[in-house]
């Protein structure tokens, strides 16, 4: 499967926008700001099926200081932000 390659400048800009995320931001805005950097950062691991355990499962990441809660899943070897409760929640500051 051919994977999308994003330029370092594009990923850097996405990471800058990632820092502006908050709990009140709609999912359709958060989705690309989270998915693009994560899929670029973990591209090699995704290609090697190291995230396969997330297929048809959901993991919620909760950043307590900014009350940001995001649930991820894997579909066709791509990490996706989904509107679903996580099977497990990882929280931290």
Of 65, 56, 18, nearest in space to 38 by CA:
18
Check residue 2 and give its pLDDT.
46
pLDDT tens track for 72-81: 999 999 999 9
Query: Where are the domains positioned within the chain?
Result: 8-92
Question: C-alpha distances in angstroms, 39 versus 44, 67, 81, 90?
Answer: 9, 23, 11, 19
Q: Specify the pLDDT at position 11.
A: 58
What is the b/e burial string over 13-50, where b = at least 16 CB atoms within 10 angstroms of the residue's CB? ebeebeeebeeeeeeeebeebbbbbbbbeeeeebeeee
pTM exceeds 0.85: no
Residue pair 59/71 in contact by the 8 Å Cβ criterion:
yes
Q: What pLDDT sits at residue 73?
A: 96
């Amino acid at each position: 499967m051919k994977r999308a390659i994003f330029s370092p400048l594009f990923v850097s800009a996405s990471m800058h926008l990632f820092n502006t995320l908050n709990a009140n931001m709609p999912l359709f805005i958060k989705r690309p700001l989270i998915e693009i950097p994560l899929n670029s950062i973990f591209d090699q691991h995704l290609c090697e099926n190291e995230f396969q355990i997330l297929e048809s499962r959901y993991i919620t990441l909760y950043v307590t200081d900014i009350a940001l809660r995001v649930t991820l899943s894997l579909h066709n070897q791509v990490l996706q932000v989904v509107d679903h409760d996580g099977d497990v929640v990882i929280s931290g500051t």
